Structure 1
Amino acid sequence: MDRSWMYNMTNFGRMGLRPEFVEGVIGFVEYAKTLDPFQRSGMIKCPCNKCQCLNYEKPDAVELHIYRNGFKKEYTVWTSHGEIDNNFDVFQHYVPGESSSDVNSNAQNYRIDDMVQDAFGVHSDFDFANQGEEAPNFECKIFFEQLESASRPLYEGSPHSQLSIAVRLLSIKSDWSVPQGAMDSVIDLIHDLVDPNLEIPDNFYKAKRLVSKLGMSSMRIHCCDNGCMLYYKDDIDLESCKFCGKCRYKQTASGKKVPIKAMHYLPLISRLKRLYASNRSAPHMRWHHEHRRPPRVMCHPSDGEAWKHFDRTYPLFAAEPRNIRLGLCSDGFTPHSVSAAPYSCWPVFITPYNLPPEMCMTSPYIFLNCVIPGPRNPKVLIDVYLQPLIDELKQLWVQGVETFDVSLKQNFNLRAALIWTINDFPAYGMLSGWMTTGKLACPYCTENTKSFTLKHGHKNSWFDCHRQFLPMDHEFRSMKNAFRKNSVEQGYPHHLLHNL
């Protein structure tokens, strides 16, 4: 269907809206009214350039938004409104079992609700009569049952559920730094204003407990103030550091003991399992295997030599396309203003690379794994803070975890491998242990480096290392005075760099 009218709003000279555009918008709204969200709640997703299909609005408000802001970019195929884009091998479709609790004007909460309703919608339609289909494992079955119970509308025709309200309350508390006591008072007021029979969380604690059913738990691990160790596993009951002897706790004015330093850790395994619990992500986790490109065509990390070399080295791992390849990214930043005291905070992110290019590096699939506290740069002690992540990666590589794939309705043993890190050169030295300063800073050239020390500045320099990448008959190789004085280049680059 020709939808060029969507991006041709106004007449010449911006003199009013074009009739074709107005007619098209009315047709779009009429079409959106035929979808399940409108039938259940009377609201539809707004595709204007401001809302970006994240907010639900009344039909009249959607028309007004589009007239003011126009459609969002490149939305000629209405994938968020039930259509399938045939130009991509991606299953972007609407889940018929989506509950009315999706009605949420908060974009941050929308992502959570979207995942919940995807999982619930697929679970409600399970039919295991077909050959090769299995029932979910015990853990996944409990997860789906809890979601089904918490996602029921508060009353017939209600756009909210007990879970969606809990998510909104927690988001408000986080966004506006509302104290817990104030949040409990607000919840009490809500109970006084609405029907007492409605299943609304009684206080902040119960709201937090309800949201924990999503399986996205977090841990607070106490650390030594000097970064020597974590109070973790066998050392969880220690009162002082076993290396430097520094005390674990400090005493407040009220006499309560609080940890001097703590790290927030978000477990990785539960988040990888949730990728297979949602129908919006589970089919795409096999994309890298089902959409192989011809040789010398690069459009995804799986086309690179590093990925192919890993597959050749570990064929059993590569034989299961649902096994996950991970990338790790970490760098320091200062969360406070420049005028404040120096504080270096190090977040660690994990990204699964099985997904197609348009999903691979988007924010919903970049998992915050832990936040290494400051105020000092951890430097070589960063591996101390990465112990919980390393333990999970070892489990995923050696043993694997039982996972239910909702797209194929099968249980399988999920394994994962960390195949690379993404960071700047100083952080590379911290994560790998390679000394990135001095003459041997290059991890490829090592002792064959062409670096030299400046005569007067006494600094290491890598000037004139680039000529080795030129063809052997190139005129620049024989120039003695144009580059480094009295120097000609007759060597070859390192074989790893040469292959690139």
Structure 2
Amino acid sequence: MIETYNIWNIYGEQLDNASSSNATRVDKVEPIVDPNEQVMDIINDVFPFALTNINQEGEDDVPIPMASAEFAQLLKNANQELYPGCESFSVLMTIVELMHGNIKHHMSNMCFDYFLGVFERMLPTDNCLPKDHKHAQKVLNGLGLGYEKIYACKNNCMLFYKEYETLDTCPICNESRFKMTSQNRMTKIPQKVMCSLPLKPRLQRLYMSTHTATDMRWHKEK
């Protein structure tokens, strides 16, 4: 049994003491991987044809079919040290690690910004740490990790989407789309927002990635 598995005893599931006592624990040895190389693999998955046209010296004298401002900036952040002399973390690797911790431990954006300020004071003054969550998220958007914000009715009646995108009130319950001030004036702050993860670009990346392409084709090939 997996060590971290939780027994659903409230729903009648019981632990088999005999099987658990006889179970043999197998420690999985994880290979040591350079995090910065993993980041370069991610960029290669997002821009699969771009990196192949850059020579080993890093010069881009050969035209890059998918050259774009996003790719150029990602490549710069992936190769730039967090501060001069820092060989362990690039700018992009630092942002990836920080944002991963932010999501894993359910940190608020305000908490994230606070710790960025602490790290800023710890690091040398010429560091390239992002100044807040907004700037860190902007960097990761180049990896295709963005999302679409869709305004929703406060009472969950509907989404202000497509043909309803221009409405200011819900046609079902007449609730305002935006928050109101104490003077009963409408602001531009939405009452509720749904974050939508577009399916198409994520499927495209799954098929392009060398790590997941085989799994995506498994049903057809088997």
TM tier relative to shorter chain: 0.5 to 0.7
Query: Matched residues in 1 for 2:137 and 2:180: separation?
Result: 28
Residue 27 of structure 2 aligns with an amino acid whose one-letter code is F
Which structure has more relative contact order (CA 8 Å, sep 6+)? It is: 2
Among residues 1, 15, 36, which one is paired with 1:101 in the alignment? 36
Aligned ranges 1:384-395 → 2 under 5 Å: none
Query: Which residue of structure 2 lines up, in the alignment, with residue 271 of structure 1?
Result: 202
CA contact (8 A) 1:240 1:246 kept: yes
Aligned ranges 1:82-481 → 2 under 5 Å: 100-101=35-36, 113=39, 116=42, 119=45, 123-126=50-53, 138=66, 144-154=71-81, 158-251=87-180, 258-289=189-220, 291-292=221-222
Cα deviation code 1:432-458 (max 9, x no counterpart): xxxxxxxxxxxxxxxxxxxxxxxxxxx
**Distance verdict in 2 for CA 1:204–1:243, change over 3 Å:** closer
Query: Matched residues in 2 for 1:286 and 1:180: separation?
Result: 38
Unaligned 5+ segments in structure 2 are 4-24, 55-62
Shift of 1:281: 2.1
Query: Which residue of structure 2 lines up, in the alignment, with residue 328 of structure 1?
Result: none
Cα deviation code 1:342-389 (max 9, x no counterpart): xxxxxxxxxxxxxxxxxxxxxxxxxxxxxxxxxxxxxxxxxxxxxxxx
**Distance verdict in 2 for CA 1:228–1:136, change over 3 Å:** farther
**Distance verdict in 2 for CA 1:263–1:115, change over 3 Å:** farther
CA contact (8 A) 1:101 1:153 kept: no
RMSD: 3.9
Residue 180 of structure 1 aligns with an amino acid whose one-letter code is N
Taking only the aligned residue pairs, the percentage that are identical comes to 24
CA contact (8 A) 2:46 2:144 kept: no
Query: Matched residues in 2 for 1:244 and 1:274: separation?
Result: 40
- Secondary structure of 1:276's counterpart equals helix
Query: Matched residues in 2 for 1:180 and 1:160: separation?
Result: 22
**Distance verdict in 2 for CA 1:276–1:193, change over 3 Å:** same
Cα deviation code 1:176-203 (max 9, x no counterpart): 4444344334323322322233322122
Query: Matched residues in 1 for 2:47 and 2:172: separation?
Result: 52
Which TM-score applies when normalising by structure 1?
0.31
Shift of 1:126: 4.2
Query: Matched residues in 2 for 1:229 and 1:150: separation?
Result: 40
Count of residues paired in the alignment? 187
Shift of 1:143: 5.1
